[in-house]
Structure 1
Amino acid sequence: MQTTGNLGLKKPEGTDIVDIADLNGNMDILDNAVTSKVDKVTGKQLSTNDYTAAEKTKLAGVAAGATNYVHPATHPPAIITQDASNRFVTDTEKTAWNAKETPTGAQAKADAAVAAAKADYIRQPGYAATSGTATAYTAVLTPAPTTTPDGFGITIVPHVTNGASPTLSVNGLAATPLKDQKGVAFAAGKLLVGKPYTFRKVGTDFLAASGGGGEYGTATAADVLAGKTIGTENNGVVNGTIPVRNANNGVGGTGHHTATESSVGVYTSGDTQNYVYVRPNPSMSRVAYEGDTWVRAAAPDLIPQNLLAGKTVLGMAGAIAQKGQTTASINTAWDGNNLWARIPLGAYLTPGGTANTADIQIPVAQARADGNIQSGNIRNGVWVYGVQGTLQPKLYAEGVSSNVGSNGALYVEGLAFRPKVVIVYRTANGTFAAGADMGNWTRGIVNTNGQFYGAIFELTNSSFWLGYALYQQVDYNWSAWG
């Protein structure tokens, strides 16, 4: 069974059985749909343009005849509000604007002003390198001046050092003398090549405005230290010629000034203190000190008794005697710890019995040596007056031991030396044994009950075996000698 597209009404087909319930359902659907319809009002038509209550209220507020408004052709200026972007311009303002200079005209006026300034060599001096000769300089300025009136200024850089009484011609105008600030013509060599000099026209001369017109003293190169410079009236800046004496550029020695015998002396000042005086050599050419001036240094220890005889230090002869081989005085003593040998005063510098050595001999009576300072009388390893001892001290040890082995020999160890002679004895029964180290071999004997037997005798650097048929677990006294 099919249904309608809008309300869903059932549409029986030819093969369907008609059902009353379906018909009633369709009727109910139609009845409900009819309730939402709009009734037609007489004089009104239906339209797709919806007309709202708000629009009806708006139309109600329109004044009668509103559709008859006509816009005026002109308005008074007062009704327009002006702001930063919108202003009225008056005829006066337009006239003033039209009278302003154009960029082209302004540039032309600026160029003219610059040209006029460049041509004004009174307010703004010109600058040029010279050509011509050392006595007749020429210079070219741009723009070219037609005259050189009073106050005319120019700075020149000479291409050559000037000759006597030089002149200057600017752009072919009349040659004008160059003079210093005092109006004196320059001497030759005053205007140096490559250096700038400024002049002003005063009357018939170019007078120096800078460089070369100042006041100078009387100092010359001979009055100035070497390495320093000074400005002079006629020669400009010159180098000083007074030599400076120091460790780097002096004369003689390692660079220091070398004094002569006539310029060094030792004098007593009268207060018991000696002084060394060093005087600059007055015969030398001028150096960095003046006249016959002495330099004094205190030397309180510069006295004869502090100097070697035969030596002279700064004019002071020494008085200390030099000694060579000397015999000490008999007045010598042993205080139990030190041997005191009294020797004459002097400097022991002269070689004596041994080359390059000053010897001091100590008599036998002082050294208490007689004939006993021999190696055999001095313990081994000890030195006495240059003699090394060879005397070996006696080595001895003794003790009691019952360390008897199964072979009947007593064994003792822990000695601090290698034994050479050993005796073992027992006082209770008169038993004893003796052994000796014979160098390449050893020998020993044993006395037991009056019978003598050959004994076992073996030794090391710190122990020994000695005996034969000795009783075990019995104490034996023993003695050993190294």
Structure 2
Amino acid sequence: MATTTATLGLTKPAGTDTVDIGVINTNMDLIDTAVAGKETPTGAQTKATAAQTAAQTYTDTKTAAITADYVRQPGYAVDTGTANHLIVTLSPAPTSYADGMGVAVKVKVAGTAATDINVNSLGVKAIYDSLGNAVTNFRANTTYSLKYESVSGSFIVQGKGGGGNATTAQILLNATATVDSGPITGTMPNNGAVAITPSSASQTIALGYHNGSGSVAAVTVPVANVLTGTTIAGQAGTMVNRGAVVITPSNASQTIAVGYHNGSGSVSAVTVPVANVLTGTTIAGQAGTMPENGALGTYIPSSSPQTIPAGHTSGGTVAGVAVTAGHLLAGDTVAGTAGTMPNKTASATVITPSGSDQAIPQGYYPGTTGDGKVAAVTFTTGNVLTGTTIAGTAGTMPNQGAVTLTPAATSVAIPAGYHNGSGIVSAVAVTAAHLLTGDTVAGTPGTMPNKTASATVITPGNSDQAIPQGYYPGGTGDGKVAAVTVPAGNVLTGTTIAGTAGTMPNKGAAGLTPATTTVAIPAGYYNGSGVVAAVTASIDADIVAANIAAGINILGVAGTAPTMKSTVFSSSGTYTSGPSTSLVYITGVGPGGDGAAGSLAGSSSQSGGSGGGGSGQEVFRYPTIVAPNTPYTVTISSSTTTFGSLITLAKGGTGVAAGNNVLTGGAGGSKPYSGGNGIQGGNTTSGSWTGGNGGNGGVPKLGTFASYNGLTAFGAGAGGAGHNGAGSPGTNATQPGCGGGGGAGGGAGSAGGAAGLGANGFLIVEWI
């Protein structure tokens, strides 16, 4: 708090006060009034003048000190630079940038990209907002307040405020926002949940915001009413496509086939012979012309023809002539009746006697044997059973009656003669399952499986097993029961399986007591009654929630420590920050440098090996400020490794060639900022005619973190080997960020080896 002097009441500035011209002027007026109100002698006037001068000097000194303190109060200046590059001059001039130093600057030209500032030629400094984003949108003729932050060596715009290039149409109706042009009110309609019912015409989705609960109604498609080959709303029609069907009329109704007819089908025309259709009858639109004669009455046959009129008659008769066809010799016809009596004249009809009476075939026989006869009966007497006489001749065939025959191992003869059908051949009883397959007895094939040479193996199990059915000759190649291999250590002691005694220790109800180090469980069988003694967090003071990851429970203590998440990029991609992510940690390495190609050697000379490529630039868990819910492009290429515009990791240096006929090997490629240099190529000696070996590529220092977050061991490209002739090529690096091998120098007039290429880098993004 400011105080005043005892005599004149002058205001004395405190150490934290800012310059106030009004207070200074008031002090001057008080002094002037006090001096003017007194008439003093010369000495007094001199003292008064000295006092006034001292007060003025004191005030000026304090004012100058306060004015030059840009930490306590900002300095104001008008920008004299160009777009994105501010230049200001403060007075009094600061001698260096100080943490908290404030500058109020009126921007001359509107910004279009990341902007920096140079104050009194102290050096260019980047400008960021409070979220760590580069400022790109300063407005012309607008004053901004900046504060210097010494850790990052940059100026921070005070007061985040609004910003951006959104328009009213991009902001929800009646919602407000502040953008680069100032405050605006949204005009985007809020449509909420919109329901759309599909129709036969396209429908426009209403302009504006939809809350995600809207829907497009499902389309119910009667597929049976939709032509096959047509799909509506994802549902295929099943209506059969009949195309152009041709139907030919018949004397019965015909069903038109179900399905689609394309209009080119037809029903064939009906050709009607009208002369064959009775007059008064119409068929398919055509009238018949056949005359209708009605009833014609009765016609009495005579010896001359009688005409029946053309046309249709409902009836009439021709008087019948009674002629029996069978009484009229064949070949004669009377009144339309043809004779059917057979004429046996010279027919040489022969009737052969049989076991039953036979009729003499119908017909007319003139009475001579040339017309018809009954043949004599002749036969072999041995074919007729003894005791039987046919046409006067006695049979001689033996009568065997009912004979019973029993099959034997050899053929059994059936006696010659007549058997009355009651004789039998005794059946042979054969059980197919008792007869070996491949054999047949009395028509019964055997079904007993033949296990000869079948190599049947029965592996003993924990229950009885049947031996597969069949015939086994008795050799192990035919069938066997496999030996039981019993691992004695897996069988409890005191138990014997297939003759093998178990050796597994029986621990019974043994228990264990946990410790802060791993306690081995002795091998053996535990009967389930043993216990592991209860433990509490008191066994280790570090077992507290803050030391345990969230979601992990150790000895009943639930962890609360945030867990680190990570994404590994071995190729280009995109990292999108979460809604609450503002800080990430970046670990990565730039692409490795390429080795140099080996140098040519003269016919009687040799060249040293070329250097390997340096490893890429690397960072380890570098904290980086990001904006929430923002995508950042990750580039992994042979030239660079980047995380958005925030981090760029450079490619390792290229190895240096030794030079043609130079004995000293070329230098290895440099490492940018960190990592490992490429290895110098090998030297060679004059007269050896052998080129120097190429240098190996550089390896990133991250190689010491071989188990960190999935990283594997690093290995750079190897340099080529020198020869008395062409040098071997350097190998390409395969591990991320490693340099390629240098080519070997040529020997005895030969070329050097090709250069190995560096490997692309990688990037790991970690966040909580």
For normalisation by structure 2, the TM-score amounts to 0.18
- Higher-Rg structure is 1
TM-score by length of 1: 0.28
The structure whose residues are more often helix, as a share, is: 1
